[in-house]
């Protein structure tokens, strides 16, 4: 990649209102200091505390989902930590933060995710709160009913319906993106 191309990439990202964009290998060891810096950076931007806390929550949840579930992971020695490939971005547009994640998933994972998004569709905050309490009681999501605690919690912090997309990249895999607007 030439300097010109790298600059073009930077301009591409800046023009899309991104404050931060990360692509590549991701682990808890990267996430922890990143979150600490992000917290300080967002606080310095002087946005409302509620919004700041929600952004951080969603950012960490998205990142840990990539680490845990990305279909592309590396076998490295890192204190038994998982290292996976994905992309994460945070932006600010029209008075609101947004977080985007992207990673490869298997077709099976994609179907499982679609089922979860379906169960979250058109739910208001009271209904989501109910789903949250129910998921706590019922334990981890085993079958195709309902959504995982993490997804429900992100939906609760989202000011708009969750935006998601799956792009076919091979016979076995899709590229999954998720956008949460705070």
Partner 1 sequence: MRIEIPSTDATPYVLIDFANSVVEFAGESFPEDAAMFYEPLLSKIKEHLESNRDLNLAVNFKLSYFNSSSNKFFYKLFNMFEDASEFHKIGVNWYHLEEDDMSKEAGEAFSEEVEHIPFSFYTLESL
Using the structure block, give the residue that is written with the tokens 């992309």.
Answer: 87
Using the structure block, give the residue that is written with the tokens 């971005």.
Answer: 89
C-alpha to C-alpha distance for 45 and 178, rounded to whole angstroms = 24
Q: Which is nearer to partner 1, 15 or 79 (CB)?
A: 79
Q: Which is nearer to partner 1, 54 or 174 (CB)?
A: 54
For residue 90, give every residue at least 6 positions away whose Cβ sits within 8 Å of its Cβ, in sequence order, or none. Answer: 18, 19, 20, 21, 38, 55, 59, 97, 98, 99, 100
Answer yes or no whether residue 76 interacts with partner 1 by CB under 8 A: no
Answer yes or no whether residue 146 interacts with partner 1 by CB under 8 A: no
Of 51, 119, 59, residue with least CA distance to 89: 59
Q: Which is nearer to partner 1, 108 or 129 (CB)?
A: 129
Answer yes or no whether residue 56 interacts with partner 1 by CB under 8 A: yes
Closest approach of Cβ 85 to partner 1, in Å? 16
Q: Which residues bind partner 1 (CB under 8 A)?
A: 28, 31-33, 35-36, 48-50, 53-54, 56-57, 60-61, 64, 67, 81-82, 129, 132-133, 136-137, 139-140, 148-150, 153, 156-157
């Amino acid at each position: 990649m030439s300097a010109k191309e790298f600059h073009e990439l930077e301009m591409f990202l800046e023009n899309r209102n991104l404050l931060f964009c990360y692509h590549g290998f991701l682990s808890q060891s990267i996430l922890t200091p990143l979150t600490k810096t992000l917290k300080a950076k967002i606080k310095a931007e002087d946005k409302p505390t509620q919004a700041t806390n929600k952004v951080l929550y969603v950012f960490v949840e998205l990142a840990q989902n990539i680490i845990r579930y990305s279909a592309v992971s590396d076998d490295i020695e890192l204190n038994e930590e998982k290292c996976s490939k994905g992309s994460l971005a945070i932006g600010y547009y029209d008075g609101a933060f947004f977080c985007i994640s992207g990673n490869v998933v298997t077709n099976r994972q994609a179907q499982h995710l679609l089922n979860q998004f379906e169960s979250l569709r058109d739910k208001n905050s009271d209904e989501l709160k109910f789903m949250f309490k129910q998921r706590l009681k019922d334990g981890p999501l085993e079958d195709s009913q309902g959504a995982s605690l993490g997804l429900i919690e992100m939906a609760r912090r989202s000011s708009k319906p969750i935006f998601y997309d799956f792009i076919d990249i091979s016979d076995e895999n899709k590229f999954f993106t998720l956008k949460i607007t705070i």
